[in-house]
Structure 1
Amino acid sequence: MFKKSLLIFILMTAQAFAQTAKQPVPAPSASTEQRGSDKLDIKKLENKYWAAKDEDFGVVQNRRYVKAERFYLTGRAGIPFNDAYSTGTIFGADLGYFFNERWGVELSYNSADMKDNDAVQQFVGTYQVMPNHNIFKSSYFVSGIWVPFYAKMSALDKAIIYFDMGLSVGLGNVNYDIAQVGGNKNESAFGYKLGIFQQIFFSEHFALRADLINTWSNQNQQKYYVPGQSLPNGGTAAAGSRDLGSTMVNDTSLLIGITYWH
């Protein structure tokens, strides 16, 4: 009797399990799906954080004063740095255009008002003769402009100063005088230019600009006195050719001015 009852119980349990297995599994509710979508993707976050470069991100964004597709005009003045014979003032002007925030082109002109420096005056006072030398007069160059640096700087926690720093590389012409007794001889030479500049913007249309400019030109040189000429110190100039050949001359100048941005 017990065995028969146990057999009936097992058969009834098996039948109930089979009916339960045939019922469809309910779909996940909307609240369950929402909780799944809110799960943080840690792997994706790590990949973005350790990415070598994010193309959509700039170190300094929202430039207040832009240069792209704008013309500018600079007026400036300064002094020569490394002229062994002359001192004075150099005046200049630049006209340029920027294609974008990095690259531009510039036409520059410089004119100098020079005189003998203290070294020349001391030499003349000691030996009563003038040294052989050339005198820088003017130059013009066409240059390519590259601006790799742009920054914002706090001034005494009162204001933000916007400035950039760039390089200019150009080709042009250098005009110079060969110092000679009875009247200087004017000549010109092909020149190369390498400049470093920095400008500080204080409005949309005006900026303060400083330039450190190096130029190189292959200049002819000649003796100041005519060979065989009697000298002021009682001697006589050496005989032979007056021509001293040519040499590469480097002129360095520092100029500061105001730039107007159109």
Structure 2
Amino acid sequence: MLNKKLFAFLLISAMLTPGLSKAQDMGGGDDVDSIETEVNRSAPKRQTIENSAAAKNYAGDDEKNVTDFKGLANLAPFQEISIIQKRFMPKTGRFELFGGGTIVTNDPFFNTMGGVLKAGYFLTESWGVELNYFGLTTAQRESTRELESNNGVSTESLAYPKSYIGADLMWSPIYGKMTWFNNRIIPFDLYFSGGYGMTETSTGESSGTVHVAAGQIFSLTKSVAFRWDFSWNFYNANVTIKEKDGSGNVIGSHKSNNSFNNLFLTVGVSWFFPEATYR
């Protein structure tokens, strides 16, 4: 009886085993495949990883290029680099009219002062030509009158200028800027000039004169400027020297050619025209 029951159990088990195996393959296998699919889907692809690595390398190279200044050694030398800036008041192709006052600063015997007119034209920012006219008036100093009246010292051998007219070549090699009490910036030109003209002297003669000058032009607007300079005139003049006896009587006279020089300090205002146009 027991053997029959055992045989029946084994038979039933043998019949059910393939079905369980097939069910496991159909049900359990699908679950495993689903899990594997989800894992692969969530994992980054190889191409994406490679792209990310390339992007990271690119960013690293870019950052390196920004902070790496070794390449500056291959650039042009700094002395060959110019800063181009428009002048506040350009002079090229413009006329200048100047009016001001002047005084002779190196004459110990006479006080000479007067008015000055100048008219110029600038060929470039550095070079120009100019005409000058000085109209002067002169008075003896107090010391000169005392020498003549008290000590009998004659000043007839001295000559002083009554006017000057001449032409100059101007050179402006320096352009700069300065502050006015830290309130505004004033551009200026430093110039030198030299030329030739004629001086009318107190003796009534016109003497050839060498004229040199140095000064500055301060630009207040694009057309108006403050200008000052020192100018030096060198000339020869014939003077009449009277010969006197011990009593002061004139017994004769003769002419003498003497050298003179006048150092003028001139201050005034310039007007530039036509209207400035930047190049």
TM-score (normalised: structure 1): 0.73
Please, what is the CA RMSD of the aligned residues? Answer: 2.7
Supply the AA of the counterpart residue of 1:242: H
Establish whether residue 220 from structure 1 lines up as the match of residue 238 from structure 2.
yes
Aligned match for 2:188, one of 138, 145, 163: 163
Sort the Cα spacing of 1:39 and 1:238 in 2 relative to 1 into closer, same or farther, 3 A. farther
Sort the Cα spacing of 1:33 and 1:100 in 2 relative to 1 into closer, same or farther, 3 A. farther
Residue in 2 aligned with 1:206? 224
Secondary structure (helix, strand or coil) at the match of 1:45 reads: helix
Residue in 2 aligned with 1:181? none
Secondary structure (helix, strand or coil) at the match of 2:182 reads: coil
Establish whether residue 85 from structure 1 lines up as the match of residue 85 from structure 2.
no
Sort the Cα spacing of 1:141 and 1:55 in 2 relative to 1 into closer, same or farther, 3 A. farther
Equivalences, count: 215
Q: Distance in 2 between matches of 1:104 and 1:97?
A: 6
Query: Aligned-pair distance for 1:44?
Result: 5.3
Residue in 2 aligned with 1:95? 119
Q: Distance in 2 between matches of 1:75 and 1:81?
A: 19
> Per-residue displacement from partner, 1:217-251 (whole Å, max 9, x unpaired)?
1222221x3x45x79xx423464x5112x232111
Which of these two proteins has the greater Rg computed from alpha carbons? Answer: 2
Q: Distance in 2 between matches of 1:238 and 1:77?
A: 42
Secondary structure (helix, strand or coil) at the match of 1:108 reads: strand
Establish whether residue 64 from structure 1 lines up as the match of residue 76 from structure 2.
no
Q: Distance in 1 between matches of 2:219 and 2:237?
A: 38
Establish whether residue 242 from structure 1 lines up as the match of residue 254 from structure 2.
yes
Establish whether residue 46 from structure 1 lines up as the match of residue 73 from structure 2.
yes
Sort the Cα spacing of 1:66 and 1:177 in 2 relative to 1 into closer, same or farther, 3 A. same
Q: Distance in 2 between matches of 1:203 and 1:125?
A: 52
Aligned match for 1:106, one of 110, 130, 148: 130
8 Å Cα contact 1:80/1:90 also seen in 2:
no
Query: Aligned-pair distance for 1:43?
Result: 6.3
Query: Aligned-pair distance for 1:152?
Result: 1.5
State the identity as a percent: 25
> Per-residue displacement from partner, 1:147-168 (whole Å, max 9, x unpaired)?
1121122223221112121101
Establish whether residue 120 from structure 1 lines up as the match of residue 144 from structure 2.
yes
More helix by share: 2
Supply the AA of the counterpart residue of 1:201: S
Secondary structure (helix, strand or coil) at the match of 1:53 reads: helix
Q: Distance in 2 between matches of 1:47 and 1:108?
A: 53
Sort the Cα spacing of 1:56 and 1:217 in 2 relative to 1 into closer, same or farther, 3 A. same
8 Å Cα contact 1:92/1:109 also seen in 2:
yes
